[in-house]
Structure 1
């Protein structure tokens, strides 16, 4: 994630550390982008960082971590202390890092 969206990744790390979640903050360095939300709402830029489970959403070991960004909403789905989904709502469009030619 941080190679594609470095600013949002840095913000996640900062907010998680401020929230007392140092282990989750450290895990942001290794988050991979699996897919976009797909809801097509213009206020949503949420991303999956893990394959979606079959059947019931997430099950045991799941918790939400609500962060307090300066703008919009950031809510993480965490399963067994691993970030599996980053809900990104009502925020300015994220800019992808462009690979150098």
Structure 2
């Protein structure tokens, strides 16, 4: 199941290829193959915005801040070598990627200018 990419949003795999590859690998290890297949088309919609220095989390779908995800929501906790990765999934779609206590992600997209 592949969600359509919202307009003007880069893909996670383009911005953070190492993280995207890690997500696929960890999801497959957790027998979450359908979710792993969606990582290729996962959009990078917005940063978390909490301001905590240990947080690099981001939204992969529009979502009103402070609102619960509602029915069909589940958390998928992954086991990376360092830090924490937790996915908020709604009806088989990754909505939010929690990236905590990890080395800074390196954005590999070319600079706009």
Q: Distance in 2 between matches of 1:54 and 1:77?
A: 14
- Aligned-residue Cα RMSD (Å) equals 1.7
Which ranges in structure 1 are unaligned for 5 or more consecutive residues? none
Which ranges in structure 2 are unaligned for 5 or more consecutive residues? 1-11
**Which of 71, 80, 100 in structure 1 is aligned with 2:91?**
80
Residue 30 (str. 1) matches residue 49 (str. 2) = no
**Which of 70, 73, 76 in structure 2 is aligned with 1:62?**
73
* Maintained 8 Å contact 2:87/2:96: yes
The size of the alignment, in residue pairs, is 101
1:98 positional shift: 3.6
1:3 maps to what in 2?
Answer: 14
Q: Distance in 2 between matches of 1:89 and 1:52?
A: 20
Residue 22 of structure 2 aligns to a residue whose secondary structure is: helix
Q: Distance in 1 between matches of 2:62 and 2:101?
A: 24
1:53 positional shift: 4.3
Runs of 4+ in 1 over 2 A off after TM superposition: 53-56
